[in-house]
Amino acid sequence: MIVLVIGVSLVFQVQMKLFGSAFASALSKADGLSKAIAAVLQVSLSWRGALVALLASAQFVIWLMVLARVDLSLAVPMLSLGLLVVALSGGAWLGEDLNQLRIAGLCLTAVGIGMIISS
C-alpha cells in the first residue's frame, strides 16, 4: 500500500510540475485580468488539470487507507521515501539539476529515513 501511494505521488508530482509550467506559460501570455482568468480556466480544465485533480484525490484516498493499517510513526517516514523517488525522477525525466551536493543530500535523507524505519 505504501508503494502504491509513493507511485501515485511520483506520477502526481511530475504531472503537477508539467501542469505548473503550462499554467505559468498561459499566464505570461495573457495581458489583462479577463485574459488571465480565461487562461487559468483553460489550463485548469485541460486533460492535465483533470489528471492532476484525479491523482491528488487518489493519493489522498490511498493515504487514508495506509493510515488505517499502519502506525503514523512508521507510515510518514516510509512515505518520505517518495521524496527521494520524486527528486531522482525529476532529474531523470525532467532534466532537473542533480548535482553532487543534491545527491549527497538525498543520500543523507535516505540514511535518516532508514534509521527512523529501523528503530
Give the pLDDT band of residue 119 (cuts 50, 70, 90): confident
**What's the Cα-to-Cα distance from 111 to each of 10, 28, 80, rounded to whole Å?**
20, 41, 12
Query: What range defines the domain where residue 108 resides?
Result: 2-118
Q: For cell 532537473, what's the residue?
A: 96
**Are 87 and 102 in contact, with CB atoms under 8 Å apart?**
yes
Residues 82 and 117: their CA atoms lie apart, in Å, by 14
Residue-wise pLDDT for 11-59, tens only, equals 999 999 999 999 899 888 888 888 889 988 999 999 999 999 999 999 9
Give the pLDDT band of residue 83 (cuts 50, 70, 90): confident
Q: For cell 549527497, what's the residue?
A: 104
Residue-wise pLDDT for 99-112, tens only, equals 999 999 999 999 99
The pLDDT of residue 29 is 87
**Are 29 and 39 in contact, with CB atoms under 8 Å apart?**
yes
Average pLDDT over residues 66-84: 89
Split into its structural domains, the chain has a count of: 1
Average pLDDT over residues 85-96: 88
Q: The pTM is what?
A: 0.79
- What single DSSP character describes residue 4? H
The pLDDT of residue 45 is 93
CA atoms in the 13 A half-sphere facing the CB of 53: 8
